[in-house]
A and B are shown apart, each in its own frame.
Chain A
């Protein structure tokens, strides 16, 4: 078993400190000469565009399409040109300096500190010179990529080109971002072969030439819940392909964890999860957001992880030569081997992000608070928070607790920063759901849901650190049995159900179970014998806490499954499903039959549906207007029975235990 607590992590430096002391203008105009990839032949963005257009890959697809559609290749070539113009970046130093200046001003206004592990930056600097680099930051906010580019500029590193699926609607800002190195992809282009070919070749050309680090988000979009989203594989497989085809010797993947003490978009996210439409990204919308400039968003921690060599990851796994028998420019569906490898790498990178994600004291406070609604005594909160701090560290969580700060101050400062979520009233901490007491009952439920979801956003940051031991704890409680075999079966069942909710490395259920048990043993919560697992006397507290932490998910999923098994008779689309299940849960909340406000979250609803699809209890069919779903009632009620402990889990092969 690996030792989780003694992992060495780097020290942080605050990059805003220097900015508060010296001129931003001089900083923006500083001599900027980043180190570059050793094999780089310098070229302009326009040269890259024409190289992409003339590449065998793109030309091949153009000719194919021309033949199929009976159109002249010139017309399709022009189309490709337009695509390229729409997506291409045109990095210019002037725009970069403009950003450096304005972002300095804005960041100083918004954030107290921006802390970075300098050693990570040094490692990155070496990596950039050696091989093409792919930056893989976590995605919680629009600030992510602005901040990352700002950071690289500050450390005199080559600015990344960013694959962003956004901002196409924002003319001016879009253009500015383009000049700062962003390039844009349409959100969905599954069917458009020309678009795919041009986009993939654009990315690969920049990677092969070592033109600049390539940056994109494995999660695909901002996580509205602050919980890492399951990875998307498309872009990752594009950037891995040049290595598979040996067009480059190696590629470095750099996981980057960016955590916010307070997320800029927190309330927007909560509204969105509850189904209140979010404002479209437009320049005017951004201007309106100006009022948030007067607010305080605390500290940002950026941890640049160890660059991971793709060659090392692939060694021993991909030694066959799948690309040897077909010319390399022909579009080719990756073999199953390779798809599996890409997926494994994606999960590995996300797990690394999670491992290095800084957790603030407030995250602990939120977790305790959510288990003690509606109010918790201030002193108790402090005590529990401290206890949770210890537990989190045992589980390998990366807590940045300001030096020598006593627990009381830490909790207080969290409360101050998040006064919109919770406040101190008469020695008790309560959720800040002002107005929830008055008004119609519907209004009350909505307001309460809003503040709970906001609060959950912070607790959620703990979940992926806690998920393995916690699911063991949940399984212990669900099975009412101490037999290891049964607990493991239940654990596997939960892991399968929550496969889209939390990040699990594909396939290694047993290892996850063992890690969960190991961590629980380590904090003296359980004891294990050859055949049995049982909580220790004082471990009951821990086991209950851990299982309570995940109760919203267990209960939420049950509600959603119940909706599907009772309320739905015919095929439906996702557009019908979300409001339907929301109303269902809403009514139950109004009636007071459930307290599970989190089941209102569209994120949970989607994940639950996806899990049922993967478990084969819901059929997903592609239709002309998107996907439709149909429920296998029997299968869903079987799953529900397991949750209600009316039926033991179907035994998976537990013999290996």
Chain B
């Protein structure tokens, strides 16, 4: 699997954005719908938005320089004990570097141009729960540090090794624990090993006609255990729920022993739910090995959709109304104008004159006939799921609400492309990096009445901070309302800028990101909706959950892991 993936960027080796010989943008590979297509307007968009130019290029090192990699320091007694367990392991430099990072900008930047100060000393691959128990026992015996590793898609610096860690760091890779142990069709649950990756889980469940419906944007790469450890959220949570709604039972190996419940029931009143100590613990307490998760029959029918609104305010008002009436489709997202234009730039070359004519007509209708300003309007993308009849009925209900807020239906195609974009957008950063453009996404959750203020202020803050920090080109600062709840929404920001002329872009980037987070908090937003805290956002934990709250979490950590075996230093 490691072979299939990029060592210094996002996703699969064969999938990436390139500029072809004609200078047009193209997405390679066959894995995505966009694969092999030419994107004629994309280059212009990049140039216009970032002031980037194809002539100014930076290149990453072609491969890892093994000599730079910190040496692996593992004591021989532990190795002997480990060998006795027959669990496979590796001290190979590439294996260790691969597990030394997540996908934060600074991590990727280090991969391209430098080297981490501290990386795991050894990687182990348990294949089952018992293996994990053995490894944790050995770690306790030899006083080692374990950092669990699932899909490696963290964006909170959670996988970075603490520089000052003197003990041997063991990267516990759960990827070989990837079986579905059983499926219980009567209760609609499945017990799954925690290392399974999202898309494999769905594929295998689909063979029996089921799905979990949990689809985070990283689902191609992220693992079930990772979802639990970070309190993940899926795109279709409106139907299936977030990870905390999906999980029925968790088995976790800790230095104190195994934590689990005595039954698999939908709800129990036995004091605070111990699952909630585990979910969001970010690898600080132990390794999640097996999870019983709810499953559903694969939906009969799926339909995409999209609605154009005259402006963002109306769009948010519509989403709020949809949430109020509790009729949100599987997914409903509202992108602002900048992101709408971005999506537009990724439109592939159209096959026939007829489609191009239709597109033109549509555009004419919306901008000229309906008077929407193309520089203000915004788009909501929709995904409906269920049986056909109900979907159609549901669709009508949502479109009716949208009409009340000045929305115009804008077709299935636009909707589908919107969702596809969330998967390929991660690849875009690698292209940007080649042309002096750095960027990242971050997210928050916020009460409904503050959504507009928060979006406006955070975007403005980013623009201002860029100016103050000497960024020469206006940044891309854009957001979407990506989940709706009864009491609020999840907002997702993309932020990128051209760093030509700045000597320390990563530092500047981090300052701006930090300012943006301060702004979010000042606007009544949360520290994180689903990315988690890791080490990146630790400094705000106290202010987020109060001193006492932090003390509660600490005391759990102290009891469960008094010697800090799980020493990744996340969260607390």
Task: Determine whether the beta carbon of A246 is less than 8 Å from that of B543.
Answer: no
Interface-lining segment among A111-119, A317-325, A485-493, A546-554: A317-325
CB distance from A567 to the nearest CB of B (A): 55
Q: Which residue of B lies closest to A131 (CB)?
A: B460
CB distance from B406 to the nearest CB of A (A): 15
Task: Determine whether the beta carbon of A321 is less than 8 Å from that of B522.
Answer: yes
What are 22 A-B contacts defined by CB distance under 8 Å?
Answer: A245-B453, A246-B450, A246-B454, A246-B457, A246-B522, A246-B523, A246-B524, A249-B456, A249-B457, A249-B460, A249-B461, A319-B518, A319-B522, A320-B543, A321-B521, A321-B522, A321-B524, A323-B524, A324-B524, A327-B449, A328-B449, A328-B450
Residues of A contacting B543 with CB < 8 Å?
Answer: 320
Q: Which residues of B contact A (CB under 8 A)?
A: 449-450, 453-454, 456-457, 460-461, 518, 521-524, 543
CB distance from B465 to the nearest CB of A (A): 12
Q: Which residue of A lies closest to B460 (CB)?
A: A249
Task: Determine whether the beta carbon of B453 is less than 8 Å from that of A247.
Answer: yes
The 3 closest A-B pairs by CB, nearest first: A324-B524, A246-B523, A249-B460
Looking at B450, B460, B522, B524, the one whose CB has the most chain A CB atoms below 10 A away is B522
Q: Which residue of A lies closest to B457 (CB)?
A: A249
What does the 1/0 interface line of A230-260 toward B look like (CB < 8 Å)? 0000000000000001110100000000000
Residues of A contacting B450 with CB < 8 Å?
Answer: 246, 328
Residues of A contacting B523 with CB < 8 Å?
Answer: 246
Q: Which residue of A lies closest to B313 (CB)?
A: A41
Q: Which of A198-231 contact B (CB under 8 A)?
A: none
**Apart from A246-B453, A321-B522, A328-B449: 15 A-B pairs, beta carbons within 8 A:** A246-B454, A246-B457, A246-B524, A247-B453, A249-B456, A249-B457, A249-B460, A319-B522, A320-B543, A321-B521, A321-B524, A323-B524, A324-B524, A327-B449, A328-B450
Residues of A contacting B461 with CB < 8 Å?
Answer: 249
Residues of B contacting A320 with CB < 8 Å?
Answer: 543
Q: Which residue of B lies closest to A39 (CB)?
A: B456
CB distance from B32 to the nearest CB of A (A): 38
Residues of A contacting B453 with CB < 8 Å?
Answer: 245-247
Residues of A contacting B521 with CB < 8 Å?
Answer: 321
What does the 1/0 interface line of A513-555 toward B look like (CB < 8 Å)? 0000000000000000000000000000000000000000000
Residues of B contacting A245 with CB < 8 Å?
Answer: 453
CB distance from B486 to the nearest CB of A (A): 15
**Tally of A interface residues using CB under 8 Å:** 11
Q: Which of A321-338 contact B (CB under 8 A)?
A: 321, 323-324, 327-328
Q: How far is the CA of A327 from the CA of B461 in the complex (A)?
A: 23
Q: How far is the CA of A324 from the CA of B524 in the complex (A)?
A: 5
Q: How far is the CA of A593 from the CA of B521 in the complex (A)?
A: 65
What does the 1/0 interface line of A322-364 toward B look like (CB < 8 Å)? 0110011000000000000000000000000000000000000
Q: How far is the CA of A321 from the CA of B519 in the complex (A)?
A: 10
CB distance from B226 to the nearest CB of A (A): 30
Residues of A contacting B456 with CB < 8 Å?
Answer: 249
Q: Which of A282-330 contact B (CB under 8 A)?
A: 319-321, 323-324, 327-328
Q: Which residue of B lies closest to A328 (CB)?
A: B449
Q: How far is the CA of A319 from the CA of B460 in the complex (A)?
A: 18
Residues of B contacting A327 with CB < 8 Å?
Answer: 449
CB distance from B479 to the nearest CB of A (A): 15
Residues of B contacting A328 with CB < 8 Å?
Answer: 449-450
Residues of A contacting B524 with CB < 8 Å?
Answer: 246, 321, 323-324
Residues of B contacting A247 with CB < 8 Å?
Answer: 453
Q: Which residue of B lies closest to A315 (CB)?
A: B518
CB distance from B364 to the nearest CB of A (A): 26
Q: How far is the CA of A590 from the CA of B217 in the complex (A)?
A: 90
CB distance from A248 to the nearest CB of B (A): 8
Q: How far is the CA of A319 from the CA of B523 in the complex (A)?
A: 10
Looking at A245, A249, A323, the one whose CB has the most chain B CB atoms below 10 A away is A249
Residues of A contacting B457 with CB < 8 Å?
Answer: 246, 249
CB distance from B104 to the nearest CB of A (A): 24
Residues of B contacting A246 with CB < 8 Å?
Answer: 450, 453-454, 457, 522-524
Q: Which residue of A lies closest to B461 (CB)?
A: A249
CB distance from B462 to the nearest CB of A (A): 11
Q: How far is the CA of A647 from the CA of B39 in the complex (A)?
A: 88
Residues of A contacting B518 with CB < 8 Å?
Answer: 319
Q: How far is the CA of A157 from the CA of B340 in the complex (A)?
A: 35
Q: How far is the CA of A323 from the CA of B453 in the complex (A)?
A: 14
Q: How far is the CA of A529 from the CA of B374 in the complex (A)?
A: 71
Q: How far is the CA of A516 from the CA of B460 in the complex (A)?
A: 42
CB distance from A327 to the nearest CB of B (A): 7
Q: How far is the CA of A343 from the CA of B524 in the complex (A)?
A: 25
Q: How far is the CA of A244 from the CA of B523 in the complex (A)?
A: 9
CB distance from A130 to the nearest CB of B (A): 10
Q: How far is the CA of A324 from the CA of B454 in the complex (A)?
A: 12
Q: How far is the CA of A321 from the CA of B454 in the complex (A)?
A: 13
Residues of B contacting A324 with CB < 8 Å?
Answer: 524
Q: How far is the CA of A327 from the CA of B488 in the complex (A)?
A: 13
Q: How far is the CA of A324 from the CA of B450 in the complex (A)?
A: 10
Residues of B contacting A323 with CB < 8 Å?
Answer: 524
Q: How far is the CA of A247 from the CA of B451 in the complex (A)?
A: 11
Residues of B contacting A249 with CB < 8 Å?
Answer: 456-457, 460-461
Q: How far is the CA of A246 from the CA of B524 in the complex (A)?
A: 9
Q: Which residue of A lies closest to B526 (CB)?
A: A324
Q: How far is the CA of A640 from the CA of B270 in the complex (A)?
A: 72
Q: Which of A154-187 contact B (CB under 8 A)?
A: none
CB distance from A307 to the nearest CB of B (A): 15
Q: Which residue of A lies closest to B518 (CB)?
A: A319
Residues of A contacting B522 with CB < 8 Å?
Answer: 246, 319, 321
CB distance from A122 to the nearest CB of B (A): 20
Q: Which residue of B lies closest to A327 (CB)?
A: B449
CB distance from A308 to the nearest CB of B (A): 16
CB distance from B50 to the nearest CB of A (A): 23
Q: How far is the CA of A249 from the CA of B522 in the complex (A)?
A: 11
CB distance from A39 to the nearest CB of B (A): 8
Q: How far is the CA of A246 from the CA of B458 in the complex (A)?
A: 10
CB distance from B256 to the nearest CB of A (A): 36
Residues of B contacting A319 with CB < 8 Å?
Answer: 518, 522
Residues of A contacting B454 with CB < 8 Å?
Answer: 246
Q: How far is the CA of A172 from the CA of B457 in the complex (A)?
A: 43
CB distance from A311 to the nearest CB of B (A): 9
CB distance from A42 to the nearest CB of B (A): 15
CB distance from B376 to the nearest CB of A (A): 12
Q: How far is the CA of A181 from the CA of B172 in the complex (A)?
A: 70
Q: How far is the CA of A245 from the CA of B523 in the complex (A)?
A: 7
Q: How far is the CA of A246 from the CA of B520 in the complex (A)?
A: 10
Q: How far is the CA of A319 from the CA of B522 in the complex (A)?
A: 7
CB distance from A643 to the nearest CB of B (A): 48
Q: How far is the CA of A47 from the CA of B454 in the complex (A)?
A: 25
CB distance from B30 to the nearest CB of A (A): 45
Q: Which residue of B lies closest to A323 (CB)?
A: B524
CB distance from A196 to the nearest CB of B (A): 22
Q: How far is the CA of A245 from the CA of B524 in the complex (A)?
A: 9
CB distance from A530 to the nearest CB of B (A): 42
Q: How far is the CA of A319 from the CA of B456 in the complex (A)?
A: 18
Residues of A contacting B449 with CB < 8 Å?
Answer: 327-328
Q: How far is the CA of A566 from the CA of B523 in the complex (A)?
A: 57
Q: How far is the CA of A320 from the CA of B542 in the complex (A)?
A: 12
CB distance from A326 to the nearest CB of B (A): 10
Q: How far is the CA of A319 from the CA of B518 in the complex (A)?
A: 8
Q: Which residue of B lies closest to A208 (CB)?
A: B453
Q: How far is the CA of A324 from the CA of B444 in the complex (A)?
A: 14
CB distance from A132 to the nearest CB of B (A): 13
Q: How far is the CA of A323 from the CA of B449 in the complex (A)?
A: 13
Q: Which of A571-618 contact B (CB under 8 A)?
A: none
CB distance from A310 to the nearest CB of B (A): 13
CB distance from B446 to the nearest CB of A (A): 10
Looking at A246, A320, A323, A324, the one whose CB has the most chain B CB atoms below 10 A away is A246
